[in-house]
Amino acid sequence: MATIRCQETIPSWRTLDRENPAAALQHRGLWTEAQILDAHTLYQKLTQCNDSYIKDYFESSLKVLHQALRLYGAASVICSFNGGKDAVAILHLLRAALAHYYVENPHVPRYRPRVIYFDNPDEFQEILAFVRQSVEDYELEMIAFERGVKFAEGLDVLVSNNCLDLSSSQTSPMAFVLGTRTTDPNAGDQGIFAPSSSYMPPFMRVNPILDWSYGHIWHFLRFFHLPYCPLYDQGYTSLGTVLDTLPCPALAVAGIHEGDADCNVPEYWPAYMLRDYDQERAGRISKQKAKASNSTVQQTELSSPESSSAHLSSYSIVKPTQNGVTVPDQAEDESCVSYQPDNDSPRTVGMLVIGDEILKGRTADTNTHAAAKALRKHNVHLKRVVVVSDDLEDICHEIQRLEQQVDIIITSGGVGPTHDDVTIKSVAAALQCDLELHDEMVDLLRDKMNTDHSAELTEAQVKMATLPRTSKLRYLSENPKDWPVLQCQNIFILPGVPEFFEKKIENVAEYLSCQLERSEAYKVVLSVDENLIVSVLNKVVENHPSVTIGSYPYLSHPEVKTVITVEGRLLPAMTGVRNSTVTKREGFSSKDLMDRNVKMALDELIKTLPEGSILRVENEDQFLFD
């Protein structure tokens, strides 16, 4: 029969076997004043932080931990710490909450934070070294279970030996703080406080970061300069064991500098550069595949640095596709928009916003924003926006000017039966096209208004049905009840009411889509002022003319100082898509070439920005602030 073993490998680290561990578990070390002060300083930084992206999340997490400490006491709140990024986040949140609890309750014993770890023969050595270093740096009390001890078995040992009074065998309820997030495979329908499953020993699961995203984790760690395992800087985004974990393929940069032997390019970007959070587990190999490659694999629940499930499916990336747009032949329809695949310039759109109410400040122009979003979504380039009054001559003049600058014109407002609705007349005048009663529009008006087809049209209906001779009604919506879009040659006439405009512009944008795929786009959120990186940005812009780089300072934001956007630029030589001799010679499609250019620019940006200045990376289309 084995005896109790308490092996001191480093200070505060005790590896337990499965035989009578009560004495070792009941032995508690006290946290030093220096550590409490350090953790309480972190608590003060958290409570004083006004970063709108993360503030609500860690405030909620601290409240959860305050409740756990109030209900269970410091001695009975245990934290899972396996070295993964989520575990690092909950460790420091718990340190901060525990220090505040001790300050608010000066008469309670000031025990060290107790954490647990399950030894795994296939653990990354970097993870193990990081865990050991963290235990030492923060004076944690580590209870490490020897190899072969499963998660439920280890917790049963902890729960059954949680005796706060050494002279009594009476156990106390226990709270177990986990780094589970809703996107984890094993999250299920857990809540913030979740009782253990029926097959487990009785304890309360506490999930303080349940609602956090991948981006929140990295923003938190990097903003507060909290150390994490160096594997994450090598492209790993979700850590399991050495048998089932690879760097995230979405972070691969190998090959973008082909032929440049002097360029020392890392194979993968750091984990915080991942902008598509759905690919967090893209580097994880399914257990079946891992087992097939190594018959000695022994998987244990929660034995890996990241939460795992009973089955990890292999991850594949499926690129979205776009529906084709059928454009009628010019000979068949004089109101069509033609797209020549060998044309050397991308299709451009000009928007003409019509309305005195806009110019006089009585109504906000929300339609321009809606148009910009919809057109960008469908890869149609909005080149110019003009706002003009409800004046026929002014509208006609602006249409003729836009005709010289863009391929397509979209108008907003000035359509309807009232005296100031002069857009249609203006379009006819600009195109030198006669106005006539449009039979299809007449029938449509009668159908929509449930009017007898033999009845006379009202004056308002006559005005609405009188259109330029080349007009075409485009039924672009899948809903047969929706009104069509009026097109006159290369001009699309849309209503000004935002509710109606937003629906129509989405339909028009999809119709106009020239089928050129957008490049990858990145938004890099920085903690440094823009004026400190001007020379860096200028150099990157100079070195990468085929990439669009934007810089946006946030002078009033307390934490985020600058946002950099990086996106491929559709050059004239690339707009031929499949017929481009340039892209054929390079061996890349236009999107492949744009993506490669973006990654080259981003790679240089990462290397030259001030160390530690990148907080997180997002999809470029996401807004930074609500």
pLDDT digits (tens, 9 = 90+) for 2-50: 333 444 444 588 777 666 666 667 778 899 999 999 999 999 999 999 8
Same domain, 281 and 247: yes
Q: What is the pLDDT of residue 349?
A: 92
Q: What is the CATH number of the domain that holds 60?
A: 3.40.50.620
Q: What is the pLDDT of residue 453?
A: 67
Same domain, 354 and 488: yes
| DSSP sequence for 182-241 | TTSTT-TT--SEEEPPTTSPS-EEE-TTTT--HHHHHHHHHHTT----GGGGGT-SS---
Query: What is the pTM assigned to this prediction?
Result: 0.65
Same domain, 205 and 98: yes
Same domain, 267 and 143: no
Q: Is residue 585 part of a domain?
A: yes
Q: Is residue 339 part of a domain?
A: no
In the listed set 167, 184, 215, which residue is the last one of a domain according to the structure?
215
Q: Is residue 331 part of a domain?
A: no
CA distance 406 to 394: 18
Q: What is the CATH number of the domain that holds 356?
A: 3.40.980.10
Q: What is the pLDDT of residue 476?
A: 85
CA distance 325 to 378: 11
Q: What is the pLDDT of residue 302?
A: 37
Q: Which two tokens stand for residue 74?
A: 């410091």
Q: What is the pLDDT of residue 255?
A: 55
CA distance 231 to 234: 5
Same domain, 478 and 595: no
Q: What is the pLDDT of residue 235?
A: 93
- The amino acid that residue 500 corresponds to is F
Q: Is residue 314 part of a domain?
A: no
Same domain, 258 and 162: no
Same domain, 502 and 527: no
HSE (CB half, 13 Å, CA atoms) of 7?
A: 8
Q: What is the pLDDT of residue 322?
A: 33
Q: Is residue 258 part of a domain?
A: yes
Residue 494's Cβ-count burial label (10 Å; 0-12, 13-18, 19+) is: buried
Residue 390's Cβ-count burial label (10 Å; 0-12, 13-18, 19+) is: buried
Q: What is the CATH number of the domain that holds 559?
A: 3.30.70
In the listed set 495, 512, 529, which residue is the last one of a domain according to the structure?
512
Q: Is residue 360 part of a domain?
A: yes
Same domain, 540 and 461: no
CA distance 218 to 88: 10
- The amino acid that residue 47 corresponds to is T
Residue 585's Cβ-count burial label (10 Å; 0-12, 13-18, 19+) is: exposed
Count the neighbouring beta carbons within 10 Å of the beta carbon of residue 170. Answer: 9
Q: Do 494 and 581 meet the contact criterion of CB atoms below 8 Å apart?
A: no
Q: What is the pLDDT of residue 69?
A: 96
Same domain, 87 and 141: yes
User: Which of 103, 39, 41, 111 has the alpha carbon at shortest distance from 73?
Assistant: 111
CA distance 245 to 290: 9
Instruction: Give buried/exposed letters for 598-609 (b at 16+ CB in 10 A, else e).
Output: bbbbbbbbbeeb
Same domain, 279 and 180: no
Same domain, 67 and 158: yes
Residues in the chain: 626
In the listed set 215, 248, 265, which residue is the last one of a domain according to the structure?
215
Q: What is the pLDDT of residue 558?
A: 67
Number of domains present in the structure of the chain: 4
Query: What is the domain range of residue 71?
Result: 7-215
Same domain, 127 and 150: yes
Q: Is residue 328 part of a domain?
A: no
Q: What is the pLDDT of residue 147?
A: 80
Q: Is residue 320 part of a domain?
A: no
Q: Which residues of the chain have pLDDT under 50?
A: 1-10, 257, 259, 261-262, 265, 295-304, 307-345, 515-516, 572-588, 623-626
Q: What is the pLDDT of residue 555?
A: 72
